[in-house]
Amino acid sequence: MRRRDFIALISSATIWPIAAETQQAKIHRVGALLLPDADVGALIRELSDELRKAGFIEGQNLAFEIRSGEEAVLPKLASELVRLKVDVLVALYTPCAIAAQRATKDIPIVIMSGDPLGTGLVPSLGRPGGNITGVSLMAAELFGKCVELLRDALPSVRRVAALANGADPFSKPFLEHVQLAGKAIGIEIIPTIISGPDKVDQAFALIKKESADAVIVQGSLASKRAAELALSRGVPAVTVPRSFVDYGGLMSYGLDGPDSFRRCAAFVKKILEGARPGDLPVEQPSKFELVINLRTAKALGIQVPPSFVVRADEVIE
C-alpha cells in the first residue's frame, strides 16, 4: 500500500468516530407551556414513550423544558422557552397556545386547543401553514353537549351558569355554544364572565346569588379551586377537562386525555424528524369520554339516574 493511501485510510478511520460522536451529542429540546392544573406527568409520559420509538431518549439525546404558570405570566414563560431555542414548543389549551404564537414565528408549535380556527391560531385546519399545528379539542361543541348532559343527569335543572374566562379568547365560542344548546332544550343560561382564574371565588359567590342550579366551567378555569368552590357552595359543576372530576367536579365530557397527549406526541416526533408544522393538518378528535364523580353527587345530595350512570365511561365512587 502506498504511504499516501495508508495515511488517507487512517485519517478517515479517525475522523468518522469523531463525526459520529458529534452527531450523537445533539440534544433535541422539547419545550412545554402549561397552565397550573395541567397533567404534566401524563403529557411527559406520552411524549417520552412516543419519541423513544423514534430513537429520541430523555437523558441521551432528548431534554424537556417545562414551564407552567397562570395566564398573566404565560407570555414571559413562552419567551423564556424561545430564548432556550427549543426545537419544538408544545402548548396545551388556548391561553398557552396564544402566548406561544405571539412569542415566535419560527419555532414549530404543537398545540392542544379548544378552537384553533376560531381563535386565530391557524388559518385552516387542513392547511395550517406557518409554524403551528396540533390537535383541536372541539371544546366549543363539547361544552354545548355538556348542557344536554346536565339535563339528562339532573332533570330538575332549569338555570345554568356559564363561567367564562374573559382573558381567554376561547370564551366567545364557549359562551356561544353553551347558549345555543340551552336555547335548544329550554334551559336558561346565565353568562358569568370573570377577568381570570384569580376571580373564581367571586364568580361562585355570584353564581350562588343568581340561584343557578348548576354551572358549566370553561376549560381554562377548570381548576382544583373551582371544583372545591362548586362543592362547598353546593353547585353541580361540569366541564370538558377530565382532571376537574378528580378535583371534585361532578362531571366531565371531553377527549380521552392520554389519547390526546399521544396525538400531540406524534406531531412532535414528526417535526423532530424533519416535517414542517405548516404541512401537518390539525387533527380533530374521534374518541370522547364521559366521567361522573358519584362521591361528589352524594356530597351534593343529588341522585344521578342509574340510566345515565351506565352511559359513563368512568365512574368515581
Domain contains 199: yes
Return the amino acid letter for 259: D
Residue 196, pLDDT > 80, answer yes
Domain contains 219: yes
Instruction: Considering only residues 138 and 34, tell me which one the structure prediction assigns the higher pLDDT.
Output: 34
Confidence of residue 73 (pLDDT cuts 50, 70, 90): very high
Q: What is the pLDDT of residue 138?
A: 84
Q: Which of 12-21, 128-137, 173-182, 286-295 has the lowest mean pLDDT?
A: 12-21
Do 42 and 156 have their domain in common? no
Domain contains 15: no
User: What percentage of the chain reaches a pLDDT higher than 70?
Assistant: 92
Residue 19, pLDDT > 50, answer no
Domain contains 7: no
Q: Quote the CA–CA distance of 266 and 209 in Å, as a whole number.
A: 46
Residue 12's contacts (CB-CB under 8 Å, 6 or more residues apart) are none
Any long-range contacts for 70-78 (C-beta under 8 Å, 24+ apart)? Answer: 70/35, 70/36, 70/196, 70/197, 70/198, 71/35, 71/95, 71/165, 71/167, 71/168, 71/196, 71/197, 71/220, 72/196, 74/33, 74/99, 75/99, 75/102, 75/103, 77/33, 78/33, 78/102, 78/103, 78/104
Do 173 and 244 have their domain in common? yes
Domain contains 19: no
Residue 29, pLDDT > 80, answer yes
- Count the domains in the chain: 2
202-212: average pLDDT = 91
Domain contains 16: no
Residue 143, pLDDT > 60, answer yes
Residue 15, pLDDT > 80, answer no
Burial label, 136 (beta-carbon count in 10 A; 0-12, 13-18, 19+): buried
Q: Give me the phi and psi of 193, to 5 degrees please.
A: -105, 125
pLDDT digits (tens, 9 = 90+) for 1-13: 444 444 444 444 4
Residue 59's contacts (CB-CB under 8 Å, 6 or more residues apart) are none
Q: What is the pLDDT of residue 11?
A: 46
85-92: average pLDDT = 96
Confidence of residue 24 (pLDDT cuts 50, 70, 90): low
Confidence of residue 25 (pLDDT cuts 50, 70, 90): low
Confidence of residue 223 (pLDDT cuts 50, 70, 90): confident
Residue 50, pLDDT > 50, answer yes
Do 175 and 309 have their domain in common? yes
Confidence of residue 220 (pLDDT cuts 50, 70, 90): confident
Do 160 and 265 have their domain in common? no
Residue 76, pLDDT > 90, answer yes
Burial label, 194 (beta-carbon count in 10 A; 0-12, 13-18, 19+): buried
Do 176 and 198 have their domain in common? yes
23-35: average pLDDT = 84
Domain contains 232: yes
Q: What CATH number is given to the structural domain containing 217?
A: 3.40.50.2300
Do 173 and 296 have their domain in common? yes
Q: What is the pLDDT of residue 20?
A: 46
Domain contains 20: no
Instruction: Considering only residues 290 and 37, tell me which one the structure prediction assigns the higher pLDDT.
Output: 290
Q: What is the pLDDT of residue 197?
A: 86
Q: Quote the CA–CA distance of 263 and 46 in Å, as a whole number.
A: 9
Residue 73's contacts (CB-CB under 8 Å, 6 or more residues apart) are none
Residue 243's contacts (CB-CB under 8 Å, 6 or more residues apart) are 37, 38, 39, 222, 257
pLDDT, mean over the chain = 89
174-202: average pLDDT = 94
Do 179 and 294 have their domain in common? yes
pLDDT digits (tens, 9 = 90+) for 253-304: 988 777 888 889 999 999 999 999 999 999 988 788 999 999 999 999 999 9
List the Cα angle 92/138/48 in 5-degree steps: 35
Name the residue range of residue 163's domain.
Answer: 139-255+289-316
Do 108 and 198 have their domain in common? no
119-141: average pLDDT = 92
Confidence of residue 71 (pLDDT cuts 50, 70, 90): confident
Do 161 and 82 have their domain in common? no
